[in-house]
Amino acid sequence: MKIIKFSIKNGIVNLFKKIKYYRGVDVLKIYNIDSKEKESINGNTVNKVFKIYKIGSKGANVKEIQATLNKLGLYEGDIDGIFGVKTEDGIKKLQKLSKVLPTGVVDYYTSEVLEKFILGHDTSMDIVNTNIDYTYEIMKKNIKGLKIRYPFIEVGSIGKSILGKELYYIKLGNGENKVFYNGAHHAIEWITSLLLMKFVENYLKAYIKGEKILNYDVNEIWSKSSIYIVPMVNPDGVDLVIDGLKENNLYYYDLIKWNKGNTDFSKKWSANIRGVDLNHNYDASWAKGKMAEKEYGIYGPGPTRYSGIYPESEPETKAVADFTRKNDFKIVIAYHSQGEVIYWDYMNMASKRAKEIGELFSRLSGYELEEAHGMTSYSGYKDWFIEKFKRPGYTIEIGKGINPLPTTKFTKIYNDNIRILLEGAVLN
C-alpha cells in the first residue's frame, strides 16, 4: 500500500520534456523550461503525446468531453460517445470563450482547458459524471480532481494490475471503526465503480459543508469511522470491455482465443486480462470451485468463472487480500451487478449478527436477501472474508437488467444503495 500524491505542475513539466514544438511554437520557452532541460528533449510532436479528438472520434473519452460541455451549457446533444457536428460546435464555443483558436478539434490546448473543468477547478461543477462509461483513465482523473478539491483525503494504491494500472484506494474519515467497500471485481460490472466514486464525492461535499445525508451526520461518521474504498479492482478488464481490444495488448492473441475467436469483449467479459475471474480467485473452498468448473465446461482462461491456477494467483486479488489482512475491517461489501440481491452467508459460517445486518441492508435498499448456491458460492471475496475473519461480509448485486448495465439506471442504483453505504460505516 502506498500513498499517492498528484501534481498538476509536475505533470505539465514532464509533458514538455517530451515535446518541443507545437504549430511552430517553442512551448518550452513559453513555459519557462530552462535550457538545460531543453537539451534532453527529443522533439516529438504533441500529436504523438496527446490523443486528438475530432469529427469521427468515438469512445468513453468522447462521452466525458460531451458530459463536460453539457455541464458548461455548451452542448445539448446525446452523451453517446460519438464526436459529431454538435460536439464540434460545443468545442468551438469553449475555444472561443477560452481564447483558443476555434477549430472544433480537441488538441493539446483545448485539452488543457477541458481538464480544468474535469478536475473540478470550477467548484460549482461535480467532478464525477454519472452518464458516461467509466474507464480507468476517467476514474483516475476523477480521483485526481477529488484530491485537488479535497486535499485532506488520503489517496493511495494497494498494488497494480497485470498491465500496471494502479489499484487506487480512497480513505474517508479518521475514526477507529474501519469498513471496506470495493467494486468492479468483474469487468463488465464497471457501473459499481461509478457508484462508489459518486458516493465518495457526495460524502466529501457533505463533510466539507457540515451537512447531513439522509439524516446521517457525516461529520460524526468521519470522526468515528474510516471508510476505505477500492472502486475498481479489475481496471484492465474494465478497459477491455469499454474500449475494446488493442493490438498492442500483451495478451492480444490469447484474449481472442479465450473469447472463442471473438474480438468483441463488451457484452460478456468478466475476467481480468489473463482470463481469470477475480471473484473466484480467493482462498475459500477454492478447490471445490475448481472441481465445479468442469461441470460448466470451463477448462482454462475465459470470460468468466475460471478461478486461476491457485488462490490469489492474480495481482489484483492478492492486493485486495493483502490490504484486507493489513487492516482491521469490521465489515466489507463487494459490489457487483446485477439482480438487486444481497448475499450474506458462506457455508453457514456467517453469524446471527451478520444476518441481522443483511436484513437491515435489505430493508434500506429494497433488495432481496439471499444465499448463494452452486459454483457462485465458492472462492469469492466476501466468502474468503467471512471464513478468515469471522466477520460480516456481503456481496451486493446492484440494479436489474443485462450487464453491462446502462448509466440510465444509475440514479435508481445510487438511491437504492446510499443508505447501505452510510449505515455500513456506523454499525457496531
Instruction: Please write the tens of the pLDDT for every residue from 82-118.
Output: 999 999 999 999 999 999 899 999 999 999 999 999 9
143 exposed, middle or buried (CB, 10 Å; 0-12, 13-18, 19+)? buried
Predicted local confidence at residue 51, as pLDDT: 82
Q: Do 205 and 343 fall within a single domain?
A: yes
Please, which residues bridge with residue 369 across strands?
342
| Pair 219, 327 in one domain | yes
Q: Do 104 and 207 fall into the same domain? A: no
Whether 161 is in a domain gets the answer: yes
Mean of the per-residue pLDDT values for the chain?
A: 90
The C-alpha atoms of residue 336 and residue 122 are separated, in whole angstroms, by 32
Of the residues 86, 118, 150, the one at which a domain ends: 118
Give the tens place of pLDDT for each residue, 293-331: 988 899 999 999 999 999 999 999 999 999 999 999 999
Q: Which three cell numbers stand for residue 393?
A: 461480509
Range of the domain at 38: 2-118
327 and 211 belong to one structural domain: yes
**Boundary residue ending a domain (118, 145, 174):** 118
Is 285 part of any domain? no
**Residue 428, Cβ neighbours under 10 Å: how many?**
7
- pLDDT score recorded for residue 171: 99
Can you give the CATH number for the domain in which 354 is found? Answer: 3.40.630.10
What is the domain-level CATH number for residue 97? Answer: 1.10.101.10
Average pLDDT over residues 160-187: 99
- Considering the domain architecture, whether residues 202 and 59 belong to the same structural domain is answered as no
Q: Tens digit of pLDDT for each residue in 201-236?
A: 999 999 999 999 999 999 999 999 999 999 999 999
Catalytic residue among 88, 201, 293, 397: 397
| d(C-alpha 188, C-alpha 145), whole Å | 25
pTM here is 0.88
Based on the number of CB atoms within 10 Å of its own CB, is 339 exposed (0-12), middle (13-18) or buried (19 or more)? middle
- Of 87, 118, 149, the residue at which a domain comes to its end is 118
Is residue 398, in this structure, part of any structural domain at all? yes
User: Does residue 36 belong to any structural domain of this protein?
Assistant: yes
Query: 140 and 51 share a domain?
Result: no
Same domain, 81 and 164: no
Note whether 342 and 231 are same-domain residues.
yes
Q: In angstroms, rounded to a whole number, what is the distance separating the alpha carbons of residues 288 and 369?
A: 24
Together in a domain, 338 and 402: yes
Residue 206 placed within a domain: yes
Give the chain's domain count: 2
Our measurement of the distance from residue 274's CA atom to the centroid of its chain's CA atoms, rounded to an integer in Å, reads 19
Nearest-10 Cα torsion for 292, 296, 298, 301: -100
Does residue 70 share a domain with residue 212?
no
Q: Flag whether pLDDT at 2 surpasses 90.
A: no
Of 194, 272, 276, 274, the C-alpha closest to 236 is 272
pLDDT of residue 273: 99
CA distance 386 to 390: 5
Residues 200 and 61 in one domain: no
Known catalytic residue at 397: yes
Least confident of 23-27, 193-197, 318-322, 345-349: 23-27
Q: Tell me the pLDDT tens digit for each residue of 372-423.
A: 877 777 899 999 999 999 999 999 999 999 999 999 999 999 999 999 999 9
Q: Is residue 291 part of a domain?
A: no
Least-confidence region, from 25-39, 163-177, 274-288: 25-39
Specify the pLDDT at position 244. 98
In a domain, 267, yes or no: no
**Residue percentage of the chain with pLDDT more than 70:** 89
Q: What average pLDDT does this structure show over 68-74?
A: 96
Of the listed ranges 99-113, 334-348, 351-365, the one predicted with least confidence: 99-113
1 pLDDT tier (thresholds 50, 70, 90): confident
